[in-house]
Amino acid sequence: MIAWLSQILIPFTVCYIIGFGLLSKRPVFDDFLDGAKSGMKMVAGILPTLIGLMTAVGVLRASGLLDILGELLRVPAGWFHLPGELVPLTLVRLISNSAATGLALDIFAKYGPDSALGMTASVLMSCTETVFYCLSVYFGTAKIRKTRYTVPGALFATAVGIAASILLSRGMGS
């Protein structure tokens, strides 16, 4: 039943929106084109930020700085029961989901997805957010310059997510 519902949901939603627009006597196609134009303008505004973030993550990975940071933070991470192998994933997750996914896949390839590290990496990816990506993209789009308590609050929430991933994945894995 759920599989059928998931297959029919998107076509139903599209038909509903078009039908509602036609019944409301709205120019549906013109509204679609206006939305597409404003979406393209938004993408053009966000693109420099995205390129900067992706470049920064690429430089971190290629230069070896991420590995050095991982080694430096291995002992303090151990105090919080965070495996040292997950330190680079935790740092990159703050900036880029796609780069963090690449690191998680590296962990899966090396240790296995069903290992304790693989399980912790999976839960960590689910319990944390790309804080700096979201702040730069969303606040940049809305032209918000004063973030006040947003960064400390988001970093606190990420720390709680990391702690939750450690606690939730304890005892998992083969």
- pLDDT number for residue 12: 93
Quote the CA–CA distance of 167 and 172 in Å, as a whole number.
10
- pLDDT number for residue 107: 92
Which of 112, 51, 54 has the alpha carbon at shortest distance from 85?
Answer: 112
Model-level pTM? 0.70
Three-class SS state of 171: coil
The helix-helix angle for 28-63 and 65-72 (nearest 10°) equals 70
- pLDDT number for residue 40: 92
| pLDDT, averaged in runs of 10, over the chain (174 residues) | 87 92 91 92 82 81 86 89 89 87 91 91 91 83 83 93 88 62
DSSP letters of 112-130?
-TTSHHHHHHHHHHHH---
What is the domain partition of the chain in residue ranges? 45-169
Quote the CA–CA distance of 41 and 30 in Å, as a whole number.
17
Quote the CA–CA distance of 44 and 152 in Å, as a whole number.
29
- pLDDT number for residue 174: 55
Kindly provide the b/e burial profile for residues 127-153, where b requires at least 16 CB atoms within 10 angstroms of the residue's own CB: bbebbbbebbbeeeeeeeeeeeeeeee
